[in-house]
Amino acid sequence: MIAPNLPNWTYQIKQIAGRLYALHGVDKQGHIVDSVGTDLDKLEEDFLEAAQKIDLALFSDVKQTTKRKK
C-alpha cells in the first residue's frame, strides 16, 4: 500500500501468528521501518509517524546543505 500523505513510502502488513502482525515499510530511497504488534491501528500510526520523521529529517538535511552551498 502507498502511505497516505507520504507518496514516497509503501508498506505491507502481514499476520504472522494469531493476533500478531508485522509491518514492513520502505521509501523510494531504501529507508526501512519495521514493527511488530497486535494492534493494527497502532502499527500503522507508528509507521506513519516514523516515516514522516525520516522524511522531515531528510528534507531538513537537504535544505541545510543547499544553504551552505550559497
Query: Taking the CA of residue 32 as centre, how many other CA atoms within 13 Å lie in the half-sphere pointing to its CB?
Result: 4
Q: Cell 502482525 sits at which residue?
A: 21
So what's the pLDDT on residue 43?
A: 96
Whole-number mean pLDDT of the chain?
88
Q: How many domains does one find in the chain?
A: 1
**Which of the four pLDDT bands, split at 50, 70 and 90, describes residue 68?**
low
Q: Which domain holds residue 38?
A: 2-69
Residue-level pLDDT at 63:
54
With a cut of 60, say whether residue 44 has pLDDT above it.
yes
At 12, which CATH number?
Answer: 3.30.160
| pLDDT at residue 19 greater than cutoff 60 | yes
CA distances from residue 24 to 2, 36, 39, 60 in whole angstroms, order as listed: 12, 9, 15, 24
